[in-house]
Amino acid sequence: MIKPRRIVTGNDKNGESEIKINSIIEPDIINGDNIFLELWNTDGNVIDNTDSIDRTDGPVILSPPANGSKIRYFSIAPQDPSISTEELEEMFALGFKAIGAEHERINTHKHPGMHVTKSIDYIILISGNATLTLDNEEVSLQTGDIVIQRGTNHAWTANGDTPALFIAVLIDSKFN
């Protein structure tokens, strides 16, 4: 399981740069090999770079707040083929509820993990293989592939025997 070291910089009272936070990050949500690990958030307010506040304290919420951003690791476990469609639907419903995102599951006809966020997301697959499912098509992803997710209905699945590990930057956005 990944436990990255996070270094957050800021300024001291004289305006000189320094380390404000230097710590190992523990995963926020663990369900088998499905992991959410928040690295940093902004809330749309003016950034005070003199504080030492950990912006990831508090509950994990999928989407960034208005004018805010998030950076996180997330891991998707391969699906167990013995799990029924009903069980899979229940698992995803509970998972999205746990991250305050049940309202973002608009149309799940293709996959129970389908969801839409009002954000532009830059997502990099850093290990494993995965599939990005959209309403009208799917694409296989290999380690190093980058997805620019622009507020569209989508789901992620891991392919093979190992989890797919992603790093994602989500930025609140408006769409036409």
Question: Which residue type is seen at 167?
Answer: I
List C-alpha distances in Å: 57 to 24, 112, 141, 150, 175.
14, 29, 32, 27, 29
* Separation of CA 54 from chain center: 18
pLDDT by residue for the chain (176 residues), tens only, comes to: 788 999 999 999 999 999 999 999 988 888 878 888 999 999 999 999 999 999 998 899 999 999 999 999 999 999 999 999 999 999 999 999 999 999 999 999 999 999 999 999 999 999 999 999 999 999 999 999 999 999 999 999 999 999 999 999 999 999 98
The confidence score (pLDDT) of residue 1 equals: 73
| Domain architecture of the chain: domains with CATH | 28-172 (2.60.120.10)
pTM of the model: 0.92
The confidence score (pLDDT) of residue 152 equals: 97
Strands 69-76 and 119-127: unpaired
| 101 DSSP 8-state letter | -
